[in-house]
Amino acid sequence: MAFWTTFWTVVLIIGVALFAVLSVVVTIGGWFDIRALFESIKAQHTEAETEDRDPR
């Protein structure tokens, strides 16, 4: 049982630490990705409108 106790302790510590780092990175990176998402969707709409006006 000592093996499992140590094993799960290590899993918990590593898991929480990794998640803490990931949370910070994703929070910052996600903010920029949201802005890029809106810009990309706007560009797709503009492109579609241009194609509608000039089907050639």
Partner 1 sequence: MLGVCMIFAAIGIETNFSVIDWCIVAVYLLGTAVIGLCVNRFVKNVGDYIVAGRAIKPYLGIATMIGTELGLVTVMYAAQKGFTGGFSAFHIALVAAIVTLAVGLSGFIVVPLRRMDVMTIPEFYEKRFGRGVRVFGGAILVASGVLNMGLFLKAGSIFVTGITGMTSPLALKLVLSGLLGLVLIYTVLGGMISVIVTDYVQFIVLSFGLIVSCIYAVQKLGWQTIIDTVTEQRGPAGFNPFHSDGFGVQYVIWMAFLGLVSCAIWQTAVVRACSAENTKVVKRMYSFSSVGFMVRFLIPNFLGICALVYICQTPALRSIFLPDDGNVDSGMTLMAMPVFVGQILPTGILGIITAGMLAAFMSTHDSYLLCWSSVLTQDVIAPCFKDGLSNKARLRLTRTFVVLIGLFLLLWGLWYPLGQDLWDYMAITGAVYSTGAFALLVFGIYWKRASSAGAYLALCSGGLAVLGLKPIAAQFNLHASAETVGLATIGLAVVTMVLGSLAMPNKRPAASEGN
Binding site for partner 1 (CB under 8 A): 1, 4-5, 8, 11-12, 15-16, 18-20, 22-23, 25-30, 32-34, 36-38, 40-42, 44-45, 48
Minimum CB distance to partner 1 smaller for 19 or for 56:
19
Nearest 5°: CA angle at 38, between 32 and 19? 35
Q: How would DSSP label each residue in 16-49?
A: HHHHHHHHHHHHHHHHHHHHHHHHHHHHHHHHHH
Q: How far is the CB of 8 from partner 1 (least distance, A)?
A: 4
Minimum CB distance to partner 1 smaller for 4 or for 55:
4
Output DSSP code: residue 1: -
